[in-house]
């Protein structure tokens, strides 16, 4: 990268920036990806994370892919390169998410961030290799030439230049404010039963007496504030309503017996976008048709009322 700035007497100020010898643009892409990873881990609710996150999703994957596909300077022009960067990003990121859906990791923040970061690093390496193999005058280059003769401008041109600069700064400030303070959407809490690998398939529905099964219970808050919850787990026999004896094995602490239900409950709290994921092991001591219910209440809500959220499994237990 080279930059020159000249000014002398009443001559215009000229600024020239050229990135050609070293692929500094790819270095910036890699640094932005690594910066976002650090922000997610250390400052998950920062304005900078949200700003870089948009670039990370909508531009960088397509930009490094375009750089790898077109390392030469005259293959496509700058407008085409920018348009391809956005277009390829919109295509690549959903494909990565689709691939993750068929893995044990699932579509979650950490696997998605790690996968896109790995893509950016790998494709940047390919783009770096292909570009540096070319002669210097054939490599893709970013060139910026700026000339400003402010002293020699008429008054109206000076005012227009200052006005444009002020509007650009104001636009950036408004965009940053809009990103940092999004509108509060619908408030709700998500409750789901998953299998232990995080997928919503192959639930344990048929089992034998004494056989132990396991499910993963996932709660996620979209309430935009701290909320306190009570989770109630109930196992009832639908074959013989007078009989509801079951064996329970819970691998998380803080549970307590619950009245009026013949079940167990646990209290917990969640901030906005926070997860509560716990595995639940159970076995049934008698054959029949059983209903395993997970009932979610807000703390303070009467447990005799309808629950805020409910998910359940029907279990067929054979001798």
List pLDDT tens digits, range 201-243: 888 889 998 888 888 889 999 888 899 998 888 888 776 554 4
Range(s) of the domain holding residue 19: 2-151
CA distance 110 to 112: 6
Beta strands at 288-298 and 309-318: parallel, antiparallel or unpaired: antiparallel
Statement: residue 166 has pLDDT above 80:
yes
CA distance 57 to 213: 39
Statement: residue 250 has pLDDT above 50:
no
For 165-179, what is the mean pLDDT?
74
113 shares its domain with 206: no
The runs of H, that is alpha helices, within the chain are: 24-42, 47-58, 60-69, 78-101, 109-132, 155-180
The phi and psi torsions of 35 (rounded to 5 degrees) equal -65, -40
By percentage, how much of the chain surpasses pLDDT 90?
13
**pLDDT for residue 2:** 52
- Answer yes or no: is 171 within a domain: no
Confidence of residue 187 (pLDDT cuts 50, 70, 90): confident
3-state secondary structure of 181: coil
Domain termination residue (choose one: 151, 174, 197)? 151
253 shares its domain with 202: yes
Which is more confidently placed, 298 or 172?
Answer: 298
For 148-174, what is the mean pLDDT?
74
Confidence of residue 35 (pLDDT cuts 50, 70, 90): confident
By percentage, how much of the chain surpasses pLDDT 70?
77
Q: What letter does residue 115 receive in the DSSP assignment?
A: H
Statement: residue 136 has pLDDT above 70:
yes
Residue tagged 């990121």 (tokens): 93
Q: What letter does residue 76 receive in the DSSP assignment?
A: S
- Answer yes or no: is 157 within a domain: no
Which domain CATH number covers 284?
A: 2.60.40.10
**pLDDT for residue 242:** 45
- Answer yes or no: is 174 within a domain: no
For 81-98, what is the mean pLDDT?
89
Dihedral sign for Cα atoms in the order 113, 268, 256, 302? negative
Domain count, the chain: 2
- Angle subtended by helix axes 60-69 and 47-58, to nearest 10: 40
- Answer yes or no: is 97 within a domain: yes
Instruction: Report yes or no: 74 and 134 within 8 Å, Cβ to Cβ.
Output: no
Domain termination residue (choose one: 100, 126, 151)? 151
The phi and psi torsions of 166 (rounded to 5 degrees) equal -65, -40
Confidence of residue 37 (pLDDT cuts 50, 70, 90): confident
**What pTM did the predictor assign?**
0.50
Bridge partner residues of 310 (DSSP):
295
198 shares its domain with 141: no
9 shares its domain with 145: yes
270 shares its domain with 147: no
Q: What letter does residue 195 receive in the DSSP assignment?
A: -
Query: How many residues does the structure list for the chain?
Result: 319
Mean pLDDT for the chain overall: 78
Domain termination residue (choose one: 129, 151, 173)? 151
Beta strands at 263-270 and 256-258: parallel, antiparallel or unpaired: antiparallel
- Answer yes or no: is 51 within a domain: yes
253 shares its domain with 142: no
145 shares its domain with 8: yes
222 shares its domain with 311: yes
Which is more confidently placed, 112 or 246?
Answer: 112
Tell me the pLDDT tens digit for each residue of 267-292: 889 998 888 988 888 888 888 888 88
- Answer yes or no: is 160 within a domain: no
**pLDDT for residue 124:** 92
Residue tagged 């979610």 (tokens): 296
Instruction: Report yes or no: 64 and 120 within 8 Å, Cβ to Cβ.
Output: yes
């Amino acid at each position: 990268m080279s930059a020159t700035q000249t000014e002398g007497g009443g001559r215009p100020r000229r600024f020239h920036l050229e990135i050609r010898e070293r692929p500094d643009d790819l270095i910036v892409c890699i640094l932005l990806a690594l910066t976002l990873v650090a922000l997610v881990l250390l400052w998950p609710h920062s304005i900078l994370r949200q700003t870089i996150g948009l670039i990370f999703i909508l531009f960088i994957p397509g930009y490094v892919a375009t750089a790898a596909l077109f390392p030469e300077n005259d293959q496509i022009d700058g407008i085409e390169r920018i348009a391809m960067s956005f277009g390829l990003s919109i295509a690549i990121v959903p494909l990565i998410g689709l691939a993750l859906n068929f893995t044990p990791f699932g579509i979650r923040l950490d696997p998605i961030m790690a996968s896109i970061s790995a893509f950016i690093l790998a494709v940047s390496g390919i783009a770096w290799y292909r570009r540096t193999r070319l002669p210097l005058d054939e490599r893709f280059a970013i060139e910026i030439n700026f000339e400003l003769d402010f002293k020699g401008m008429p008054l109206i041109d000076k005012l227009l230049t200052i006005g444009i600069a002020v509007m650009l700064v104001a636009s950036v400030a408004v965009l940053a404010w809009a990103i940092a303070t999004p509108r509060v959407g619908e408030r709700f809490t998500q409750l789901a039963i998953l299998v232990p690998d995080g997928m919503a398939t192959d639930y344990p529905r048929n089992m034998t007496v004494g056989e132990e099964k396991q499910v993963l219970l996932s709660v996620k808050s979209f309430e935009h504030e701290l909320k306190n919850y009570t989770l109630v787990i109930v196992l009832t026999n639908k074959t013989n309503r007078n009989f509801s004896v079951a064996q329970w094995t819970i691998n998380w602490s803080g549970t307590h017996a619950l009245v009026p239900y013949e079940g167990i409950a646990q209290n917990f709290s969640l901030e906005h976008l926070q997860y509560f994921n716990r595995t639940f092991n159970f076995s049934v001591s008698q054959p029949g048709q059983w209903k395993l219910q997970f009932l979610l209440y807000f703390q303070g809500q009467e447990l005799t009322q309808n629950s805020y959220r409910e998910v359940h499994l029907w279990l067929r237990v054979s001798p």
